[in-house]
């Protein structure tokens, strides 16, 4: 995703490396680097929020929708966002 966004010209690679470096250097980062992907995600979220491309609240909301969708999806079936009971258009349309 980072590579794709960079290729769209949304940020420079040096800009990205700077954010990633700042995240992995934070005092709460695991000393053994086991949280590298969490740091990577945090760096991407910060960068996107600063660029106004995806705000923190927006990501929270859609992530919650994905989590609800995952719970609502029967085991063995692919999880799709439409399975979120709170955002399904048919349900919201039926609500008076």
User: Closest approach of Cβ 90 to other proteins, in Å?
Assistant: 19
Binding mask 13-32 for other proteins (x = CB under 8 A): xx-xxx-xx--x----x-xx
Tell me if 93 contacts other proteins by CB under 8 A. Answer: no
Handedness of CA 86, 46, 27, 24 (dihedral sign): positive
The closest alpha carbon to 81, from 96, 55, 62, 94, belongs to 62
User: Closest approach of Cβ 64 to other proteins, in Å?
Assistant: 8
Tell me if 88 contacts other proteins by CB under 8 A. Answer: no
Tell me if 57 contacts other proteins by CB under 8 A. Answer: no
Is the CB of residue 78 less than 8 Å from the CB of residue 59?
no
């Amino acid at each position: 995703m980072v590579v794709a966004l960079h290729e769209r010209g949304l940020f420079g690679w040096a800009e990205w490396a700077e954010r990633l470096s700042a995240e992995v250097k934070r005092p709460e980062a695991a000393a053994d680097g086991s949280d590298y992907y969490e740091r990577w995600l945090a760096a991407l979220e910060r960068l996107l929020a600063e660029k106004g491309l995806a705000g923190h609240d927006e990501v929270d909301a859609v992530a919650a929708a994905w989590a609800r969708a995952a719970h609502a999806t029967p085991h063995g079936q692919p999880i799709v966002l439409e399975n979120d009971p709170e955002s399904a258009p048919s349900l919201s349309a039926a609500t008076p």
